[in-house]
């Protein structure tokens, strides 16, 4: 379970670490939108330089980003190859039997490859420089306007932060249950598909049962500490939007403008 990059946070004190999580989350959205505007060499170069300079700014080792990319390698290669072989158009560069590689196929593949890599690097950047807790705070804060439409924003935020807090606890539970079942002779990951699925049941049921128990105890403890819902609560953790945050978003919008200018 140690390879899990999701929600992994690396403490630091870089410019990116100090940004408000809300601005980082918004930046992620903007980034995903504008990356689709990059459709030629110049615009892709622009995006790459921008992303790499952010990576440099974060002061986090490149190896962490490569780790983030690793689980996606198969997917990226698969999609890229698909593009190479099935996009027809432009000059024919190579032909053998039914396989035909064209210039358009190659450029499409390169485009898809860049998009994947950049988006993954950028999102890794977000999770590596932001604690899961402050991301949950950011989601709650950004959803706040929706409370006018009767969306239970406080509850969503609380659920999110509780889930994040219980991820390691439940992971420990899972390992413990698996080891306990192994000690009693259950084989995990052996046999055919049906047997594999069946061997998951002795993990799943105790895990669910213990989660129910934990949820019940947690609810009692919360009630005992005076939790009555979102109304009338004060907040210990305040997010503060600084000049730097506006600057970060503006620079991203500026980048978007440049992309619009240079794209095909």
Residue 226 binds to another protein (criterion: CB under 8 A):
yes
Residue with Cβ nearer another protein (158 or 203): 158
Residue 248 CB, shortest distance to another protein, in Å, is 24
Q: How far is CA 226 from CA 159, 195, 222, 223, in A?
A: 17, 47, 7, 5
Task: Provide the mask over 205-224, with x wherever binding to another protein is found by CB under 8 A and - wherever it is not.
Answer: --------xx--xx-xxxxx
Residue 165 binds to another protein (criterion: CB under 8 A):
yes
DSSP states of 139-199: HHHHHGGGGGGT--HHHHHHHHHHHHHHHHHHHHHHHHHHHHHHHTTPPTT-SSHHHHHHH
Rounded distance between C-alpha atoms, residue 144 and residue 153, angstroms: 6
Residue 204 binds to another protein (criterion: CB under 8 A):
no
Q: Output the six-digit token pair for 62.
A: 């490149």
Rounded distance between C-alpha atoms, residue 91 and residue 263, angstroms: 22
Residue 1 binds to another protein (criterion: CB under 8 A):
no
Using the rule CB under 8 A, which residue among 161, 177, 252, 255 binds another protein? 161
Task: Provide the mask over 169-198, with x wherever binding to another protein is found by CB under 8 A and - wherever it is not.
Answer: x--x--------------------------
| Other Cβ atoms within 10 Å of 208 Cβ, number | 10
20 close to 245: Cβ distance less than 8 angstroms: yes
Site size toward another protein (CB under 8 A) is: 31
Site for another protein in 37-76 (CB under 8 A): none
Using the rule CB under 8 A, which residue among 49, 151, 162, 247 binds another protein? 162
Using the rule CB under 8 A, which residue among 84, 111, 119, 164 binds another protein? 164
């Amino acid at each position: 379970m140690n390879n899990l990059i999701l929600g992994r946070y690396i403490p630091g004190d870089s410019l990116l670490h100090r940004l408000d999580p809300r601005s980082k989350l918004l930046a992620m959205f903007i980034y995903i939108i504008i990356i689709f505007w990059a459709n030629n060499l110049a615009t892709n170069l622009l995006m790459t330089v921008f992303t790499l300079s952010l990576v440099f700014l974060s002061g986090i080792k490149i190896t962490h980003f490569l780790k983030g990319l690793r689980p996606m390698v198969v997917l990226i290669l698969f999609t890229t190859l698909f593009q190479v072989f099935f996009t027809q158009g432009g000059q024919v560069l190579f032909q053998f039997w039914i396989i035909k590689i064209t210039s358009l196929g190659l450029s499409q593949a390169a485009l898809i490859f860049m998009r994947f890599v950049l988006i993954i690097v950028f999102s890794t950047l977000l999770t590596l420089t932001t604690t899961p807790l402050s991301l949950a705070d950011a989601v709650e804060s950004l959803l706040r306007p929706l409370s006018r439409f009767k969306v239970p924003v406080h509850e969503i935020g609380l659920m999110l932060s509780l889930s994040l807090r219980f991820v390691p606890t439940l992971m420990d539970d899972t390992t413990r249950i698996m080891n306990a079942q192994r000690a009693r002779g259950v084989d995990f990951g052996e046999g055919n598909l049906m047997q594999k699925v069946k061997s998951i049941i002795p993990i799943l049921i105790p895990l669910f049962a213990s989660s129910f128990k934990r949820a019940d105890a947690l609810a009692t403890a919360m009630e005992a500490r005076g939790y009555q819902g979102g109304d009338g609560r004060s907040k210990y953790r305040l997010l503060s939007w600084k000049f730097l945050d506006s600057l970060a978003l503006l620079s991203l919008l500026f980048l978007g403008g440049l992309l619009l200018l240079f794209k095909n």
